[in-house]
Amino acid sequence: MIYELDVTPKITVSLCMALLGIFALLAWGGIRGKNATYDEVLHTPASWINTRYLDFRINPEDPPLWKYWAALPLLTAPPQVNKDSSSWLTMLQDPRQQWRWSVETLYRTPGNDPDALVNKSRIMMLTAGLALGAVLGWWGWHLGGGVAAVVTTLLFTFDPNFLAHAPLVKNDVALTLVLVALVFALWRLGLRVTWPRAAMVAAERQVAVVPPRPAFRRLLEEAKGIDQTDLEQLPEVRAFLGCAMDLTGPGNGVVDIAVFGCDVVVAQQHQVRVA
């Protein structure tokens, strides 16, 4: 019986923390001596430019919140950047110049230590990976108690994908974190609607990939079969607009998630379903 195998909350927390500590040691030990990956060459200087100058000409395709996080350690020792170079000045007209400028900034600008800059941001990204493991363990605890929490954290700890990707200056694991946290919050809201849980969903939506866009209204139009004028009068729009998000990307169509009472409505490439 699962209840006979369950462990106390104190032991559960201790075991999960120990496993996440092992995860941090393995992930950091595997990456600290390695050079920057292809994407990190772009994302490391982009995180600084987005954060310090609020200039999004570089790496505009990725939402900036995770880059703000990655750039925090760089505030104490800012990298040197050249905003007079030809690649910088022509970047708005030719986005391919962002790669040239990033290489110049990291590897050809006096005063910049590329390995040190990348590793500082990697530490921040590793903490996001640890947060993901904690959310998964917490969800496991809600589903099956202490044993489920420990087993979930154990599987996460030794998963090679997360071990390899968590410390990288890349949005993969950060994206996974916010989406898992959002779905977890939606799941809890579906079990029982309370103001704190609704507030959590709204907060998670704010830190998710992108804020609501007109795609949310396209979802409601298709789900309700009404036009834009009547759509604005729907109580669901006013009540739950803060609990909606959409994911857009070239070639990926649109994925919309909205909350109607306790139902999760998903529209993917113009096909609406209720989860």
Instruction: Name the nearest CA neighbour of 218 among 259, 256, 173, 171.
Output: 256
Give Cα separations from 157 to 24, 96, 102, 231, 254 (angstroms).
Answer: 9, 37, 33, 46, 32
| Half-sphere exposure (Cβ direction) of 113: Cα atoms closer than 13 Å | 8
Q: What's the whole-number mean pLDDT along residues 107-117? A: 95
- Does this model's pTM top 0.85? no
Question: Domain extents for the chain?
Answer: 2-165, 172-274
Cβ neighbours for 197, distance < 8 A, ≥ 6 positions apart? 185, 188, 189
With 90 as the cut, is the pLDDT of residue 104 above it? yes
Q: Let me know: does 206 contact 63? Beta carbons within 8 Å.
A: no
Structure confidence by residue, pLDDT tens digits, 4-45: 556 789 999 999 999 999 999 999 999 988 999 999 999 999
Average pLDDT value for the chain: 80
- Which spans in the chain are helix H? 2-5, 9-31, 38-48, 65-71, 86-89, 97-107, 114-157, 160-165, 172-191, 195-206, 214-224, 228-231, 235-240
With 60 as the cut, is the pLDDT of residue 234 above it? no
- Give 16 or 200, the one with higher predicted confidence: 16
